[in-house]
Amino acid sequence: QTGNGILNKAVKGTISDAEASMVHATIWDHIPYMYFTSGECPTPYKQRFARLEASDKISIVPNFIVENIEEAQAKFKEYYDQGEEGIILKDMHAPWENKRSKSLIKFKGELECDLKIVDVEDGTGKYEGMLGALVCESEDGIIKVKVGSGFNDEDRKKIKKQDVVGKVVAVKYNSRIRSKHEDESLFLPIFVEIREDKDKADSAGSIK
Counting the structural domains of the chain, the total is: 2
Q: Do 129 and 103 reside in the same domain of the chain?
A: no
Q: Do 77 and 129 reside in the same domain of the chain?
A: no
Q: Do 140 and 75 reside in the same domain of the chain?
A: no
Q: Do 97 and 14 reside in the same domain of the chain?
A: yes
Question: Of how many residues is the chain composed?
Answer: 208
Does pTM surpass 0.85?
A: no
> Are residues 172 and 151 in contact, defined by beta-carbon separation less than 8 angstroms?
no
Q: Do 83 and 141 reside in the same domain of the chain?
A: no
107, 125, 144 - which closes a domain: 107
Q: Do 56 and 137 reside in the same domain of the chain?
A: no
Q: Do 122 and 101 reside in the same domain of the chain?
A: no
Q: Do 98 and 177 reside in the same domain of the chain?
A: no
Q: Do 103 and 36 reside in the same domain of the chain?
A: yes
CATH number, residue 183 = 2.40.50.140
> Are residues 61 and 87 in contact, defined by beta-carbon separation less than 8 angstroms?
no
| Residues ≥6 apart with Cβ < 8 Å to 204 | 138, 140, 142, 143, 184
Q: Do 80 and 139 reside in the same domain of the chain?
A: no
Q: Decide: helix, strand or coil at residue 138.
A: coil
Q: Do 13 and 98 reside in the same domain of the chain?
A: yes
Residue-wise pLDDT tens for the chain (208 aa)? 455 677 788 878 888 888 888 777 788 999 999 999 999 999 999 999 988 877 777 888 889 999 988 898 888 888 877 878 789 999 999 999 988 788 888 887 778 999 999 999 999 999 999 999 999 999 999 999 999 999 999 999 999 999 999 999 999 998 888 876 678 999 889 999 999 999 999 999 999 8
> Are residues 168 and 118 in contact, defined by beta-carbon separation less than 8 angstroms?
no
Q: Encode 88-118 in three state secondary structure.
A: EEECCCCCEECCCCCCEEEECCCEEEEEEEE
Domain with 186, as residue range(s), is 111-206
